[in-house]
Amino acid sequence: MAYEVLARKWRPQVFEDVIGQEHITKTLINAIKSGRLSHAYLFSGPRGVGKTTVARILAKAINCEKGEPGVPCNECPSCTEITNGSSVDVQEIDGASNRGIDEIRELRESTKYMPSSSKYRIYIIDEVHMLTKEAFNALLKTLEEPPAHVKFIFATTESHKVPVTILSRCQRFDFKRISPAQIIDHLEKMTQREGVECSRTGLAMIAKQAEGSMRDAQSLLDQVISFTGSKVEDGNITEVLGIIDRDMIFETSRAIIEGEPRKCLEIVDHIYNYGSDIKEFYRALMDQFRNLLISLIASRDYLLDMSESEKEEAARQAGIAGSEKLQVLLNFMISREEDLRFTSHPRLILETTLIKLCHIGEFLSFDDLLKKIESLEKRLTASPGAGRQPMADHIADSSADSSADWVSGKAGKKESKEESAAKSGQSWDDFLSFLSSKSKATYNILKDWQLIKLTEKIIEIARSSQSFSSTYFDDPERYKLLEDYCRDFFKTDIRVKIVNNNQTKPLKSSASQAKHPELPPPVQEIVHMFQGEIAANKKGGVKK
């Protein structure tokens, strides 16, 4: 017997077996049970998520002679004919190849005849958005006065191309992408039944590639099996699908975090010889650092496509690095991505980037040192009568003055942080340490943000320039939670105002930038990043 592809072999034959579209199948079953069927349905949604499948099950359920309402028996002549595609009463029409007026006229003619052996004549028109304007008009006439024995089921991946006049005469159902977890479970069931050995991590890689389409997932699995036979190793999957080996990615992030440039070079050599795509590898590595960050600030459930042992390793690496370093690493990688995209020497760029990433830890400890000095300085200036402003305020000033938002209506200089904090008797740093005991996630985000203003009524903070966390409090619930924490802590009815940070620099390396205030900010950043020194500064000759 010829090999039957998984997608066909596993096409669900009853509503119950359709995965992830319960919002649709339940409604349809109820409609059939209560005899309240619409005369036209429109199924829209991405490719391979069950539109055609559900259309056929619906057709069967409507015309089935035996099964209980809403459950086609899949045995009676009507059901088997629909499954084989040989039913005279249920016609499947491909809108892409029958898109003209003539075909639709023919269809209209046929609707006049009574069904030959079932209750209804059912027309399933796939890719209905492909019909021509004239064809739609012809179809509209039938939809306006549908014969009682006719039902239409339209399916489309592009519902926006279907005229409103048609849409408004159909009951519409939007199919969803299927979640990775549901795809993984389903693939696992299939491999077990087919006698194929494949790890869940491997299936997760396939599910990720499939981007919510069950058919794509099944076809990818087909491809892999036809390559490996019944014993599938994770490495086979990466090879067949051209995905980057995950162990390699973990090994690279570990080497970067633990500062092992030599190891990184070995890895580059390996992936180069292996023929993997260097840009793909880089993208996967950025993903990896994003995941490490997530593992620090959010629940592990966000790392869906990782196995348990990978989640553990991710947490371990993230713990060693800490959120600050991870953000710096990620930012550096983002800044380098462009170079890699346009270069004709990707290997070279990858190698130098990885080496630099390995050294970022050293810069960071340098940065940490500066922070300590900074906070010491703050404490000194906070004592009564101290004349100098804390350094953090200088930074806020210089980066913020251009934004009217920051100054909250006052033309003059904004209040010194320490002055206003003194009113409420509590400082921002105290609040942060309070937060760290209440909500690690909120704390981890906020410690990289900047306090602009703190009075009894209002607390104004600027987002960090890290794109990753800058939108964290855009979520109303998180925002509300933050306000609650502030009220709890400052014991006043304080409001939280979030403003944008105009700093373009991803680093808060205030002190190192202040080291060469005469230089343009990008140059300062580079000096900081490479822990460099300015040997000579020829006027007008400083280029990026």
Which residue, 10 or 431, is less far from ligand ATP as judged by CB? 10
> x/- binding map, residues 34-73, to Zn ion, per CB under 5 A?
------------------------------x-x-----xx
Torsion over CA of 526, 529, 533 and 535, rounded to 10 degrees?
-30
Residues near Mg ion (CB under 5 A): 51-52
Rounded CA separation 538/544 (Å): 13
Q: What Å distances lie between residue 3 and 222, 226, 403, 506, CA to CA?
A: 10, 10, 66, 55
Residue 90 binding Zn ion, by CB under 5 A: no
Q: If contact means CB under 5 to 8 A according to the sort of partner, which of Mg ion, ligand ATP, Zn ion, none does residue 76 touch?
A: Zn ion
- Give min distance, CB of 286 to ligand ATP, in A: 31
How many other β-carbons are positioned within 10 Å of the β-carbon of residue 269? Answer: 12
Rounded CA separation 27/25 (Å): 5
Which residue, 179 or 492, is less far from ligand ATP as judged by CB? 179
Which residue, 29 or 271, is less far from Zn ion as judged by CB? 29
Q: Find out whether 214 and 50 touch, Cβ atoms under 8 Å.
A: yes
- Give min distance, CB of 54 to ligand ATP, in A: 7
- Give min distance, CB of 77 to Zn ion, in A: 8
Nearest C-alpha neighbor of 324 from the set 381, 390, 370, 392: 370
Q: If contact means CB under 5 to 8 A according to the sort of partner, which of ligand ATP, Zn ion, Mg ion, none does residue 79 touch?
A: Zn ion
- Give min distance, CB of 55 to Mg ion, in A: 8
H-helix or E-strand spanning residue 417:
helix 417-424
Which residue, 116 or 437, is less far from Zn ion as judged by CB? 116
Which residue, 55 or 318, is less far from Mg ion as judged by CB? 55
Rounded CA separation 75/512 (Å): 77
φ/ψ of 70, rounded to 5, equals 90, -5
Q: If contact means CB under 5 to 8 A according to the sort of partner, which of Zn ion, ligand ATP, Mg ion, none does residue 162 touch?
A: none
Distance of CA 64 to the CA centre of its chain: 42
- Give min distance, CB of 124 to Mg ion, in A: 9
Which residue, 173 or 250, is less far from ligand ATP as judged by CB? 173
Residues near ligand ATP (CB under 6 A): 7-8, 10-12, 18-21, 47-53, 155, 157, 178, 214-215, 218
Which residue, 59 or 507, is less far from ligand ATP as judged by CB? 59
Residue 79 binding Zn ion, by CB under 5 A: yes
3-state SS class at 112: coil
Residue 76 binding Zn ion, by CB under 5 A: yes
C-alpha torsion sign, points 29, 35, 36, 37? positive
- Give min distance, CB of 61 to Zn ion, in A: 8
- Give min distance, CB of 50 to ligand ATP, in A: 3
Please tell me the count of residues contacting Zn ion according to CB under 5 A: 6
- Give min distance, CB of 51 to Mg ion, in A: 5
Burial code (b: 16+ CB inside 10 Å, e: under 16) for 177-196 equals bbebeebbebbeebbeeeeb
Which residue, 76 or 265, is less far from Zn ion as judged by CB? 76
- At residue 159, what is the residue type? S
CA atoms within 13 A on the CB side of 295: 25
**Interacting residues toward Zn ion by CB under 5 A:** 64, 66, 72-73, 76, 79
